[in-house]
Amino acid sequence: MKKQTTILLSALILTGFCSPIIQTADTKAAIVRNVDDMVPSGKVLHFGEKFELSDLKEEASIPVKAYAQTGQFLENGYVKLNQRNIWDLQEKKETTVATPSIYTKSNWGGHLEYEALNINLKMTYDDNTKTFTLFDNGNPITEDIVYELYEGSARIHYVLKDTKKELYTYEQKEVLQYRDFPSEETFMIEPLRKIYDAPEPVGYFDAYNMDFEALANWNPFESEDDDDDVDFDSPIIEKYNRKEIDKDHGTEFTVYLEKAKPYTINFKVYLDNKPYFSKKVTGELHGSIPLQDEPKMPDSTVATLNKSKTAMSTINEYVPQLGTTIQTGSVLHSKIFDQNFGKIGAASTINGQPNFLNTGIYGISGESLEDNQVFVNDDNAGRTTTLELYYESNQADETPDTSVTADVTIESNLGKQVVKNVTGKVGEDITVTVPKKDGYVADKTTVIAHVDKDGKITTEEKVTYTKKNTNEEKPNNNNNQTNNPNGNNTDSNLPSHYNGLVGTMKKPVDLYDFNIGQMTKNKQRQLAANSDWKVDQIITLNGVKYYRVATNEWVKDSDVYRYVAQKGIVNTKDVEVTYLSNVEDKIVNNRGLAANTAWKYDRIAYLGANETKYYRVATNEFVKASDVINN
């Protein structure tokens, strides 16, 4: 006879929501633990031994041998006869008795409790032979009785997965429970943080089910409910087989702790946008980041901290698909520093300056403090955060107008081309119109030039002029060419030097071989999508421009985009939303930049047929140069 009981297994923390997990389990009818079943009481009756019923008083015991389902001997026990059993035998010559509970220990000392497969036996007395017989479901039995596990303790070995070193051993009590169905014979491994006196697994994740592949592919927008979320707190579920458990088998389990990637903090200080100080600090999971030596910041008499340019970027290696989070501004500075000064280390450590490094580590980590150490918990495992402070020289306010007007010289295959009286501000990149030449077509309409501090405006780009083909009414229409059966413009079929960079877009790009004045598609190779390539030559054939990216491997101008590898910061204007474009020069519909915010860029790109100037602020996200202010 069995009854149902409900057991609360756990409350899993999934993305901030607490969801109790309830499991229904079947257990035997309640049996009170009574170690008296292991010792005799009253008269001891042995199988085959003659006795008179009149000799029985208030109690009697029948010794039996308990065996596990594996066949291993467990312990001796005693079937107990109480006063009512003795009366029944004396009056009816039969009674119902209960098999004893068996209590024993595994070979490592863990508790094991067993119950007979049939807890009730029929006992009869034969007046002729003066002996008793025990029956199990109508079949006479001997003193050997088969038992099944009712409840037991498991021994858990916590082992570091990479070194195979055992960190801790723990007895998890009463987890090997009776279940009606084998599929229900499971239990949850207790994590170390819930075990009193267990060591911290410094540098390793606790005993949880770590599905790194699921983390790396998780998309919060595709999750229908909380059950689809993934985290670092999913329990390890161990299976067991009660039929295989005895003193020597089935009670020990090993869990392997995964090595965790460290928490990394990059602290960077700039003076007039140039590196002034940088330090990399790391902390192991379940470890701590100790108090750091504070650097000397720029002297406040000659430079001022621009709180509005304080920037923080964060990325987590376990969820790279979420990208880099970037925050900037004076409110961010206040959140990190102003409200936390004095909480860690000394409030002023060097020449009366605040302790920016230690306060910054504490302010961005969201962790707790003890003895001036910042502890590293699961949320920061694999996370890299870069914190940047910007100082500006006080003389900057007195700097006069930095506009420069100068001639720009552009190298070309027809010699140097000079553009007169071009104006721009020192440090900026400007667009310069390429001069037109009678009878020739240039391979580009503009070039990018840089305004130097010495008052010069220079460009590294070169221009190739191609002689116009007067025999063609439509130079870009190959079908109209009659002077060359291959359709190539043989008036200008020599490549010229070109120093630049190009990037592919979302599709693989065809390569072409150049031979005897014509291009032939390479059927064996392509350039990968979203890849970058250095260009060293350029040629125009039949109005189509090609860039050389490797020895005799060329790409069409229309299949790639030009860019300049340059880093900096741009600020959005005072408009509600500044829209973004992708590498195909198409508007990104679901994202935009807020008003008056600063954004780091890593390249200047020229997108679309008109080569519109953009700054790249994230992977495949570009902001138009005319929509922002370049610092």
Name every residue whose Cβ is closer than 8 Å to that of residue 46 and which is 6 or more positions away in sequence.
Answer: 62, 63
The pLDDT of residue 588: 84
CA dist 565 → 102, 445, 504, 534, 615 (Å):
77, 21, 15, 11, 10
pLDDT range class, residue 471, cuts 50, 70, 90: very low
Name every residue whose Cβ is closer than 8 Å to that of residue 590 and which is 6 or more positions away in sequence.
Answer: none
Antiparallel, parallel or unpaired: β 568-572 and 598-601: antiparallel
The rounded distance, in Å, linking the Cα atoms of 42 and 102 is 19
The percentage of residues in the chain with a pLDDT greater than 90, rounded to a whole number, is 36
The pLDDT of residue 347: 56
- Asked if pLDDT for residue 29 goes beyond 50, the answer is no
The rounded distance, in Å, linking the Cα atoms of 205 and 191 is 10
Q: 345 in the Ramachandran plot: left (φ > 0), alpha (ψ -120 to 50) or beta?
A: left
Half-sphere exposure of residue 39: CA atoms within 13 angstroms, side-chain side: 4
Lowest mean pLDDT among 107-111, 206-210, 240-244, 474-478: 474-478
Q: Are 462 and 498 in contact (CB under 8 A)?
A: yes
Provide the mean pLDDT of the chain. 82
Amino acid at the residue 141: I
Tens-digit pLDDT profile for residues 109-119: 999 999 998 88
pLDDT range class, residue 34, cuts 50, 70, 90: low
The pLDDT of residue 152: 94
The rounded distance, in Å, linking the Cα atoms of 64 and 66 is 7
Concatenated DSSP letters of 470-523: TT-SSTT-GGG--S-TT---TTS---EEEEEEEEE-SS-EEEEEEETTEEEEEE
The pLDDT of residue 346: 62
What's the CATH code, domain 469-563? Answer: 2.30.30
The single residue listed with the structure tokens 């959140």 is 335
- Asked if pLDDT for residue 1 goes beyond 90, the answer is no
Tens-digit pLDDT profile for residues 555-579: 999 999 999 988 888 999 988 788 8
The rounded distance, in Å, linking the Cα atoms of 222 and 230 is 12
Separation of CA 107 from chain center = 41
Half-sphere exposure of residue 578: CA atoms within 13 angstroms, side-chain side: 25
Tens-digit pLDDT profile for residues 166-202: 999 999 999 998 888 888 899 999 999 889 899 999 9
The pLDDT of residue 262: 93
Burial pattern 408-443, b for ≥16 Cβ within 10 A else e, equals bebbbbeeebebeebebebeebbebebeeeeebbbb
Tens-digit pLDDT profile for residues 119-167: 899 999 999 999 999 999 889 988 899 999 999 999 999 999 999 999 9
The rounded distance, in Å, linking the Cα atoms of 200 and 192 is 7
Q: Are 625 and 611 in contact (CB under 8 A)?
A: no
The pLDDT of residue 97: 93
Half-sphere exposure of residue 296: CA atoms within 13 angstroms, side-chain side: 3
Residue 407, classed as helix, strand or coil, is: strand
577 compared with 3, residue with greater pLDDT: 577
Task: Check if CATH label 2.60.40 holds for domain 565-630.
Answer: no
Antiparallel, parallel or unpaired: β 417-425 and 288-289: unpaired
Residues forming a β-bridge with 156: 170, 253
Name every residue whose Cβ is closer than 8 Å to that of residue 183 and which is 6 or more positions away in sequence.
Answer: none
The pLDDT of residue 228: 53
Tens-digit pLDDT profile for residues 280-337: 999 899 888 888 888 888 877 788 889 888 889 888 888 887 788 888 888 888 888 8
Domain ranges of the chain: 1-225+237-251, 263-396, 403-465, 469-563, 565-630
Separation of CA 437 from chain center = 57
The pLDDT of residue 563: 92
pLDDT range class, residue 218, cuts 50, 70, 90: confident
pLDDT range class, residue 367, cuts 50, 70, 90: low
- Asked if pLDDT for residue 348 goes beyond 70, the answer is no
pTM for the model: 0.56
Tens-digit pLDDT profile for residues 231-286: 667 889 999 999 999 999 999 999 999 999 999 999 999 988 888 888 899 989 98
The rounded distance, in Å, linking the Cα atoms of 463 and 23 is 74
- Asked if pLDDT for residue 409 goes beyond 70, the answer is yes
The pLDDT of residue 502: 92
Name every residue whose Cβ is closer than 8 Å to that of residue 355 and which is 6 or more positions away in sequence.
Answer: 294, 341, 344, 345, 346, 347, 348, 349
